A and B are shown apart, each in its own frame.
Chain A
């Protein structure tokens, strides 16, 4: 089991640029989550998918953020245009069931810095 795989590990970009974060969930897991972590706000749920379908994107900060899951083994989180306040660590996590009753398995995260 390779775990949840995220790329890139680090991303530094200039304000206004497009950023794409990638995630491969654990094989067999049917739910995928995107979280953002900052010192001020802690871990915040941005969006989650169940069986590749977006279920709740109410945590997405604004229209600059979008997420897709074209198949069971791949998801992207895109920020366009990026802003300095988007700087954070973005985690992808997966689990077997849709409900929050199941423990989450986190990827190593992408540390995003927008200058």
Chain B
């Protein structure tokens, strides 16, 4: 059973600080890693993806991947109240579309 683990939270961060969201996965053969943001009552939307070890930056968002530790994280700099949402980590392990496994998400609250 391929597992993707996230701390459910809530994770409370003051406005302007860095929010750090973490995700671990069980399958060492995992190839691709995605972060989706889901506002309450809305659908998940993709905000970042990363395939290689290291950091990938996009605006205020940075995804970090460490395959040796089976760990992927999402950093949000200068966090804003509009960043308050649930963040879902998704990991692709190959073998077709059923190889994509979602974590249950971390609920992030940015305090004004």
Residues of A within 8 A of B (CB): 31, 33, 41-43, 45, 48, 50, 55-56, 58-59, 91, 98-101, 103-109
Contacts and interface: CB of A to CB of B under 8 A. Distances in A.
B96 interface: yes
Interface string B85-97: 0001000111011
A55 B95 CA distance: 11
A99 to B, nearest CB: 6
Contacts, number: 60
B97 A48 contact: yes
Contacts of A42: 88, 102-105
Interface of B, secondary structure class, is: mixed
A112 B52 CA distance: 39
A8 B27 CA distance: 37
A107 B43 CA distance: 7
Contacts of B92: 99-101
Contacts of B44: 43, 91, 104, 106
A100 B99 contact: yes
Contacts of B94: 99-100
Contact of B96 (A55, A105, A109): A55
Interface in B26-54: 31-32, 34, 42-46, 49
B97 A98 contact: yes
B23 to A, nearest CB: 13
Nearest to B46: A103
